[in-house]
Amino acid sequence: DAMVIQNPRYQVTQFGKPVTLSCSQTLNHNVMYWYQQKSSQAPKLLFHYYDKDFNNEADTPDNFQSRRPNTSFCFLDIRSPGLGDAAMYLCATSSGTTQETQYFGPGTRLLVL
Amino acid sequence: SQQGEEDPQALSIQEGENATMNCSYKTSINNLQWYRQNSGRGLVHLILIRSNEREKHSGRLRVTLDTSKKSSSLLITASRAADTASYFCACYGNNRLAFGKGNQVVVIP
């Protein structure tokens, strides 16, 4: 089945230690998104790629970066995680022709010690 | 902001009852979408209603949109225990989705 896959499902890192979260998709969608969701809060868009074009949200901290080496994969890099970065990180995709409906992966729960 | 705000934020009902959730937003939108999130999981798209539509159905789901009041409602009929989840409205505009904080719905068997 076509889907959005996130690995790992749970990630533990140390304060200040770089961490990378990965997302892959078999939907062949043009657009890939990264959201941060803290407990009992709305998902917050960090950035998205339309093909190779990177679009950063204005309030996304510089600590967060992303890479999209090909259509199928997208990575979220947190350069120096702080305690406040502990959250669920959701990857989503949408078709380039109708960007409206988004398809989400199961998320990666990040814990910062 | 476009971000939706759901009401009520928590709802507990008996299995078989209907569950109604409301969402309000502040700016113009292209469409409004509802998503479900089971605990600790990703979001699943439920239904999309465009700004020129007033009502839409999908299975046991009914969504309405009142652009003059900038509000939407989601009705789940004949609820089941498996409907227990958080439900988010999301406003689509400016090429992005803006999510509300979500409704926590608990369906008691």
Inspect the interface and report whether the beta carbons of A40 and B44 lie closer than 8 Å. Answer: no
Residue B41 corresponds to which tokens in the numbers above? 């999981």
pLDDT reading at A42 higher than 70? yes
- Of the pLDDT bands very low, low, confident and very high (cuts 50, 70, 90), residue A36 is very high
Label residue A65 by pLDDT band (50, 70, 90): very high
At residue A99, the pLDDT reads 61
* B12 pLDDT more than 70: yes
Touching A: B residues 23-52, CB under 8 Å:
30-31, 33, 35, 40-45, 48
Burial class for B51, CB neighbours closer than 10 Å (0-12, 13-18, 19+) = middle
Q: Is some CB atom of chain B closer than 8 A to the CB atom of A32?
A: no
DSSP 8-class letter at A17: -
Determine how many CB atoms are found less than 10 A away from the CB of residue B44.
Answer: 13
Quickly state the pLDDT bin for A2 (edges 50, 70, 90). low
Share above pLDDT 90 across residues of chain A, in percent, rounded to a whole number: 88
pLDDT tens across B45-104, in order? 999 999 999 999 999 999 999 999 999 999 999 999 999 999 999 998 877 889 988 899
Quote the mean pLDDT of chain A: 93
Cβ <8 Å between A100 and B43: no
Give CA separation, B73 vs A3, A87, B22, B77, in Å. 29, 28, 4, 13
**pLDDT reported for residue A68:** 97
Cα torsion for A104, A109, A112, A113, to the nearest 10°?
-170
Q: Indicate whether A1 pLDDT > 70.
A: no
**Could you give phi then psi for residue B67, rounded to 5 degrees?**
-70, -25
B97·A45 Cβ contact <8 A: yes
Q: Which residue has the tokens 């509802």?
A: B34
A85-104 pLDDT, tens digit each: 999 999 999 987 556 789 99
Nearest of B81, B72, B80, B79 to residue B34 by alpha carbon:
B72
pLDDT class for B7, splitting at 50, 70, 90? Answer: low
pLDDT at B1: 42
The model's confidence at residue B8, banded by pLDDT at 50, 70 and 90, is low
Q: What is the pLDDT of residue B83?
A: 97
Residue B3: pLDDT over 70:
no
